Structure 1
Amino acid sequence: MKFVHTSDWQIGRTFRFADDDTLGALQAERVEVIRRLGQLARQEGAAHVLVAGDVYEHETPTEKTLHQPMERMRQFADVQWHLIPGNHDADTPEGVWARLLREGAVPENVTVHRQPGPVRLVGAEEAWLLPVVLQRRHVLSDLTAYMDEAPTPPDALRIGLAHGSVTGFGNGEEAEHNPVAIDRARKAGLSYLALGDWHGFCQIDARTAYSGTPETDRFGAGGGGGGEALVVNLRGPRAEPEVTRHRTGRYVWKKFEDVTLTNAEDIHALEARVRGVAPDNPGAVLVWLVVSGLLTVDDMALYESTIIRRLSGAVACLRLSGAPQLSAGLDDLERFGPGGAVRTAAEVLLEQAQGGGEEGAVAADALQRLFLFWNEVGGQAA
């Protein structure tokens, strides 16, 4: 049989760094990607889509957010969708799954697995799903252990579906929660173990993999990546699974660290690097720049116009950490003329900036703003 493996949709997720427009677009795309998953299943001839937890970001989503994924899956009546609770949407008494079932909002082609145990996959000869159900956000025991003794017919395809952290994989406190034995597929005689929780694709062994989230949701490593789903082809209970990765995400997230700017050439090179991430569709790129350096007055104006204004308008989101500092001296004050209030204010700010400290940093920023403003108005301000 052939099926699609996906996880960590996290419908309703928020991104604190994003403005309202960007946030709305990112949230909408997390819903829209469900349609692409359905199309992928049809395209590949996969009758089932296995969603390994975290369909929702929160246990108490709004009514609209609650129903959005269900309605998208309803559009693909020829595909059977199998959902399990994750750590973000655990099956609590008043959680999302209880609400959906109470309202009768789950389509006929969607199965919410709320109990562990073998379930025969309709339309597949001797294929059985072994789901794991999280009833609270964190557990310390391995809920996949029941799979070892779960009865299925001889020579059946045994497919595990779980949300958790493979023992020995990942770091930090989170890795201790919802543990999954690294050799569970072998112990339980699984043809394949479909996992969720890690947001980037990761193949643990030939029969165990994390699909990652279908729409990328973070910068950098540590569960980053994503934007994919897996198509898994099982040719027999003992045959090694054929796992292929398929791009499903729209947005590309890219972080540029340690960007040091010292002149105009550096600025133009940075612009080219960012635009080169997706030359044909920069509007689908989210960029995080970690910037430092020292720029002259003219180069600072170029940075402001090229990066802050023009580039931020080209990409979906431009996130900045740090900033280049202004390199200004007495010669630069000639821009303000030989005298006048603006020249006097600039001299005071320059002196304070050169003094350093917190007050100096504030003065340097104010002086930079003054130079940029003066450039914009062409020295015509009173």
Structure 2
Amino acid sequence: MRFVHSSDWQIGKTFNFASDDVLRVLQAERLEVINRLGELARAQGAADILVAGDIYDYETPSDRTLRQPLERMRQFPDLRWHLVPGNHDFLQPNGVWDRVRRSAPPENIHLHLEPKPFAMTPDSSVWLLPSVLNRRHTLNDPTLWMDEAETPEGVMRLGMAHGSVREFGSQPGEQPNLIALDRPVRAGLAYLALGDWHGFNRIGERCAYSGTPEIDGFDKGGDGGGSALIVSIDGPNAVPTITRHRVGRFSWKRVQATLTSRDEIEALENRLRSLDPQNLSSLLVWLDVEGHLTLEDMTLFDEKILTGVEAALCLLRLGKRPELVASEADLSTFGEAGVVSRAAARLQALSATPGPEQQHAMAALQRLAVLWRSERSA
């Protein structure tokens, strides 16, 4: 038996830090990756794709968002897609899954909305035991029923569920959707396909989290997100072979730098542009910068990094930014008297004082300098 294990597509996911243009790109790619999952299955000779929950990011997607992943799966009629609800799209009356059913999904999509064994293969040699979440959080193990689930003797039993295998609550028993670590042994499973964690994580010989096929956060780029799993099992008692395959397009990186001079600004520009020279448009960067820059150098930082490099990347998110320290030479640019000079001095004082006005004052002082120089050179 060979199949693809995926999870946590979270179609329709929003990214509050992204502009509308970037948001559309990120959302569209969460759909396009479904095509790559289908292509991966075909290339690896896998007829089944198990998607362990959170197909949708929320309970009430628009009709278009609801149908988009179904139409992507329709394009692969030779593959069988197996879906279960997760904690983001849990099963509830008149919820997202009732709407999916009423939309007449393609025959190659199997909606597993009841915890009961399902014969996956035409010869009934492989049975799927799908767990279903009926609410976002439950204190009951959603896989407990698998221990007593009846299937023919000698068949391969595969489990699929959405939840956690570790307790993170402050008190034992408080972790929702908690799954027993030894469920594969208790239930006689050849493999348990899990969803919920957004990065790859193998839990013993017969259990793993696939992770989301597209990384969706700056804190998730280093744990194997952006991949899917090919799982091969020679027989009901054989140990699975689990192979990760990259299917995601985007890379998410955190970058830290300290800037105090023009040379260091240019070095940072070169560093950012060399992160992935051939695929900068598929790169999202969270940039934290410390240090102090003069007015002139801060203007250069904005031009080189916040304007130039930002346009090359999919997204540049600035966390910490360098402090502005306007020198006497900077202020002398505005002359010794007049309303412009007095405004510059006031903005300089505000930009050096911690508080809610500091960042605005820094930006205003920079803008004033640019406009003043432009006016003087005209």
TM tier, shorter chain?
over 0.9
Q: Does 1:162 align with 2:134?
A: no
Post-superposition shift, 1:352? 5.0
Matched, 1:263 2:250: no
Q: Which residue of 1 aligns with 2:41?
A: 41
Say if 1:353 and 1:111 are closer, same or farther in 2 by CA, change over 3 A: closer
1:131-189, Cα deviation, whole Å (9 max, x unpaired)? 00111111110020111121222332111100001134x57799811110011111111
Report the counterpart of residue 70 of structure 1 in structure 2: 70
The residue number in structure 2 matching 1:13 is 13
Verify: 1:127 aligned to 2:114, yes or no. no
| CA displacement at 1:227 relative to structure 2 | 0.8
2:88 alignment partner, SS class: coil
Alignment size in residue pairs: 377
Which residue is 2:2 aligned to? 2
Is the contact between residue 258 and residue 291 of structure 2 (CA under 8 Å) also seen in structure 1?
Answer: yes
Q: CA deviation at 1:351?
A: 4.5
- My pick for the range that moved more, 333-342 or 35-44, is 333-342
Distance 2:254 2:26 in 1: 17
Q: How does 1:1-382 map to 2 (within 5 A)?
A: 1-104=1-104, 106-123=105-122, 126-168=125-167, 176-221=175-220, 225-257=224-256, 259-353=257-351, 363-375=361-373, 377=374, 379-380=376-377
State the superposition RMSD in angstroms: 2.3
C-alpha distance in structure 1 between counterparts of 2:221 and 2:145, whole Å: 29
Letter paired with 2:297: D
The 3-state SS of whatever aligns with 2:333 is helix
Tell whether the 8 Å contact from 1:294 to 1:324 is kept in structure 2 after alignment: yes
Deviates more, 1:194-203 or 1:265-274: 265-274
Q: Which runs of 5+ in 2 are unaligned?
A: none
- Cα distance in 2 for residues equivalent to 1:360 and 1:72: 48
Native 8 Å contact 2:201 2:208 kept in 1: yes
Q: 1:146 to 1:352 in 2, by over 3 A?
A: closer
* The 10-residue stretch of structure 1 (273-282 or 23-32) with the greater mean CA deviation from structure 2: 273-282
Look up the equivalent residue of 1:138 and give its one-letter code. H
Counterparts in 2 of 1:359 and 1:287: CA distance versus 1, 3 Å: closer
**Contact residue 329 and residue 350 of structure 1 kept, 8 A:** no
Unaligned runs of 5+ in 1: none
- Report how far residue 365 of structure 1 moved: 4.3
Q: Secondary structure at the match of 2:242?
A: strand
In structure 2, how many angstroms separate the alpha carbons of the residues matched to 1:55 and 1:291?
37
> Once the 2 structures are TM-superposed, how far is the Cα of residue 74 of structure 1 from its aligned partner?
0.7
Structure 1 length as normaliser, TM-score? Answer: 0.92
Following the alignment from structure 1 to structure 2, what is the Cα–Cα distance between the partners of residues 191 and 336? 75
1:218–1:224 contact (8 Å) kept in structure 2:
no
One-letter code aligned to 1:236: G
CA distance in 2, matches of 1:63, 1:351: 53
Cα distance, 1:278 vs structure 2: 1.8
Amino acid in the other structure paired with 1:379: R
Any runs of at least 4 consecutive aligned residues in structure 1 with deviations exceeding 6 A, and if so which? 171-175
TM-score if structure 2 supplies the norm length? 0.93
Question: Conserved in 1, the CA contact under 8 Å of 2:5 and 2:50?
Answer: yes
- Cα deviation digits, residues 213-233 of structure 1 (max 9, x gap): 111111114996511100000
Letter in 2 for 1:147: M
- Distance change (3 Å), C-alpha of 1:175 and 1:43: farther
CA distance in 1, matches of 2:83, 2:332: 68
User: What's the offset of the Cα at 1:261?
Assistant: 1.7
1:125 CA displacement: 5.6
User: What do residues 350-379 of structure 1 show as CA deviations (whole Å, max 9, x unaligned)?
Assistant: 35555666566654443233224334x163
